[in-house]
Amino acid sequence: MQETLAQLLEDIRGCRHCADALPCGPRPIVQAHGAAPLRIIGQAPGRKVHETGIPWDDPSGDRLRRWLGLTSEQFYDPRKVAIVPIGFCYPGKASSGDQPPRPECASLWHDRLNAHLRDVRLTLLIGQYAQAHYLGDRRKATLSDTVRAWREYLPLGSLPLPHPSPRNQPWLAKNPWFEEELVPDIQNAIRSLNL
C-alpha cells in the first residue's frame, strides 16, 4: 500500500540520516499538503529557522513574501504553499554564510514527497542547489543566466530565483532587471494560482 502524505511527513520529521554531519542536530523543516498549487524549493533552513521550526521565518522569508506578493497567512497555509528545501535541516555555519544543504537529503526524500504534490502548478527554484537538482543540464552557465532566462522556464511550470537573503544584496543591486521585470512576472504567475 502506498504511504500517505501524513506518514511520509512523520518519517521526514523523524529523519536522522545525516545527524552526525549536522552541528545542531536534525530538525527537518517542511510544509506540504496534496492540494498545494505552489511549491517552493529552497536551500536549507538557517539558524533562526532551526530554532523556531517555522520555514522562512527570517529576513529572507520577509523578502521572499514581498517578491511573491503573499501574506504570511497565505504563505503558511499548506493547502496553498508547499515548502520543500533541498536540505531539510540546518547544515551549520561556514566561514561565510551557512554550509550547503546536505547532499543526501533531496535524493532521499524529494521524489517521495513530490509524488503526493499532484496539484502543483508552479515551482519556485530558489538558489543554485534547487536549480541544479530540478533543472539539471537545462540550467545556464551561471545562476544569473538561469534566473535571467525565466521566460523560458515559466511556461514549463518553474521559476528560477536568486536567494532572497540579505547577504545576496550585492547580486540584487547588480541586477536591477530582477526587481523591475521578474518580480512583477512572479506576482502575476502567483495571482493566476488564486491562492
Question: Would you tell me how many other CB atoms lie within 10 Å of the CB of residue 170?
Answer: 8
Question: Distance from first CA to last CA of the chain, Å, rounded?
Answer: 32
Q: How far is the CB of 31 from ligand SF4 (least distance, A)?
A: 14
The cell for 138 is 537545462
31-47 in b/e form (b: 16+ CB < 10 A) is bbbeebbbbbbbbbbbe
Segment contacting ligand SF4 by CB under 6 A, of 11-19, 31-39, 46-54, 179-187:
11-19
Q: How far is the CB of 74 from ligand SF4 (least distance, A)?
A: 26
Is 18 a binding residue for ligand SF4 by CB under 6 A? The answer is: yes
Binder of ligand SF4 out of 4, 6, 11, 19 (CB under 6 A): 19
Partner residues linked to 112 by β-bridges: none
Q: How far is the CB of 154 from ligand SF4 (least distance, A)?
A: 29
| Closest to 182 (Cα-Cα) out of 156, 157, 154 | 154
Residues 44/55, Cβ–Cβ less than 8 Å: no
Is 17 a binding residue for ligand SF4 by CB under 6 A? The answer is: yes
Query: How big is the site for ligand SF4, counted in residues (CB under 6 A)?
Result: 15
Is 164 a binding residue for ligand SF4 by CB under 6 A? The answer is: no
Q: Which chain residues interact with ligand SF4 by CB under 6 A?
A: 12, 15-19, 26, 28, 87-89, 102, 104-105, 108
